Structure 1
């Protein structure tokens, strides 16, 4: 089974190298072309209502999540199928994360955090398919996710604690003369959170895909020696699979940390 998976992975890498490589031999590589937003039905003009490749792959991500979590686990068998096993594994993994990081009182927000993780990890993995479009490589997508987390966590903090939520920025354990300075630093770091979340996710995904495109371009440009970059592509592709999961995990666990601050601002 392991050998079959290895052969399939290598075939996918070779196929991606052929697909993403330049049309003509040479080293005229344009790694950012894969991130261009294009209308689905021709033309160059993109309006707010225009269906684009981003729209398509966002919809596919939602459909894949629905297929896994709803259709894949609808049988609720005692001996689970593969889809049900993956769904149960994801459920248990995120539930345990929320409970351990944010506390048991944060479990009521588990559906929101589970939705975040499943969307990001699914979009990341779909972006590794040859000829696909990685929606999480765009700051417009990751920015909306980050702002949603920021607004939600802030609203929860004020809804539960009112003005006392501002104690999050007041370091009472520090010497009194330093407290105003530390409060200013805490306020700045708090409002930088969505920027950090947005850039970290999109930047890592974009960088990885750009490097894959560069190596694929080398494979085409080196003619009979084009097999040499294939080994680098194979290794980097495996790394990108790991990064796709890790970035979803990091985004989710930071959301749990921010949620903990909202639930317990004095801690």
Structure 2
């Protein structure tokens, strides 16, 4: 490992994920304004600017911004209807807000000197836990004890049903873990790789290759930012479907 006295290349690709206070250098508490809260607020502001300010004219012939907002609205609406059914459309506002927030948080994290809030389990874990608790409560409110039918595979042979029930229960409670880690892990890994390529760009011999790698990786990260927002949302729709129609 390189030290401060060494003359070799020294870089720390994970430093970009450190949570720092906006003011001063003290410890970060839950109430401390930090780079995380700043970029979370900017993501909310970006969503508001697009869907409130950008569509305020409601023109018959939409502008580019209004077209983007309408296309996003239609895509999420169709996603919920296709996966969760028409009953799931009652919960469209929450799912739509979730998709837009994650998408903008992901995209803002690609800006130079920005902070990728969705690369932190503390953020994605809360989002996943809210989905998990929401669909679980909804499942019991809508179906009562029949919601437990989600864990009982009635189509399987009787001798296997208890074993499958245990597997179903475990997989159900693992949902918020996989839901959050999938989003955070993909963004963290991609940003770390870009940082590594950027460090190698300081070496003259391989600088052109490193720059090309950065450009390619950046384009890939844009795709990942959109796909991960889509995956998080469509999994939410799947979990919503299970709450509305729990029987196997």
Structure 2-normalised TM-score?
0.96
Task: Map 1:51-66; keep pairs closer than 5 Å.
Answer: 51-66=33-48
Residue equivalent to 1:266:
247
**How far did 1:122 drift?**
0.3
2:215 is aligned with 1:234: yes
Residue equivalent to 2:163:
181
| Contact residue 119 and residue 183 of structure 2 kept, 8 A | yes
**How far did 1:44 drift?**
2.9
| Contact residue 152 and residue 164 of structure 2 kept, 8 A | yes
Deviations 1:196-246 (A, max 9, x none): 0010000000000000000000001x1354222000111110000000000
Mapped partners of 1:218, 1:265: distance in 2: 52
| Contact residue 152 and residue 165 of structure 2 kept, 8 A | yes
- Counterpart secondary structure, 2:24: coil
Moved over 2 A (4+): 24-27
Aligned residues: 243
Larger RCO, structure (CA 8 Å, separation 6 or more):
1
Mapped partners of 2:82, 2:205: distance in 1: 54
Mapped partners of 1:79, 1:25: distance in 2: 60
2:196 is aligned with 1:214: yes
Mapped partners of 2:7, 2:118: distance in 1: 30
Q: Structure 1: which 5+ residue stretches go unaligned?
A: 1-23
Between 98-107 and 26-35, the greater mean CA deviation after superposition:
26-35
2:149 is aligned with 1:137: no
Residue equivalent to 2:11:
29
| Contact residue 25 and residue 223 of structure 1 kept, 8 A | no
**How far did 1:131 drift?**
0.3
- Counterpart secondary structure, 2:32: coil
Mapped partners of 1:112, 1:143: distance in 2: 17
Deviations 1:15-66 (A, max 9, x none): xxxxxxxxx9842121000000000012131111110000100000000000
Task: Map 1:1-267; keep pairs closer than 5 Å.
Answer: 26-220=8-202, 222-223=203-204, 225-267=206-248
Deviations 1:130-161 (A, max 9, x none): 00000000000000000000000001100000
Q: Structure 2: which 5+ residue stretches go unaligned?
A: 1-5
- Counterpart secondary structure, 1:227: helix
Mapped partners of 1:262, 1:244: distance in 2: 28
| Contact residue 168 and residue 266 of structure 1 kept, 8 A | yes
